Amino acid sequence: MQQPRLSIAELDRLLCAEFPQAFNTQSGLRIKEVWHGGARVERAFDGASLRPGGTISGPTIMMLADVTIYIAILATIGWVPLAVTTNLSVNFLRKPGPGALVAECRLVKVGKRLAVGEIAIRSVGQEDMVAHAVSTYSIPSRSADGDIIPSN
């Protein structure tokens, strides 16, 4: 089994440094596990994401899906912060109750230009998915000496 290119500690440090708006001590995001080809990320409960009926907002779930595949890609191919989402498709399956969410991403393709993964989102401790997402990221080209070539 291949090792991830970046550990949880390395990812935490790099993400907080580069994306302070999204990753910070307040954001409630916590990388639980990374491996070659995937990642598992939790999001602590946060009253601001509640919607009428006591459920968590769709955008909160989409953001967690997007962050989790991004972390899975970084863990698998190394630090390419300029990888960008080109598609995110989410099916909302059940309304999550108030509580922490956990997303698990499994990459189904890691190509030179595109990575694709599916993401299962659950309430922590529950088996049924609250949402299922599939997302594609575009990976910037690198020149022979490692520089990123602008694309697209």
Radius of gyration of the CA atoms of the chain, in A: 15
Shortest distance in whole angstroms from residue 93 CB to a copy of itself: 4
Which residues, in sequence order, are bridge partners of residue 47?
Answer: none
* CA dist 106 → 41, 119, 151 (Å): 12, 6, 26
Residue 71 CB partners (closer than 8 Å, separation 6+): 11, 15, 31, 34, 39, 41, 105
Q: Does 148 bind a copy of itself (CB under 8 A)?
A: no
Number of residues that bind a copy of itself (CB under 8 A): 43
x-or-dash pattern for a copy of itself, window 68-107, by CB under 8 A?
-------------x--xxxxxxxxxxxx------------
Q: Which residues bind a copy of itself (CB under 8 A)?
A: 18-19, 21-22, 48, 50-52, 57-59, 62-63, 66, 81, 84-95, 108-109, 111-114, 116, 118, 120, 129, 132, 134, 136, 138, 151-152
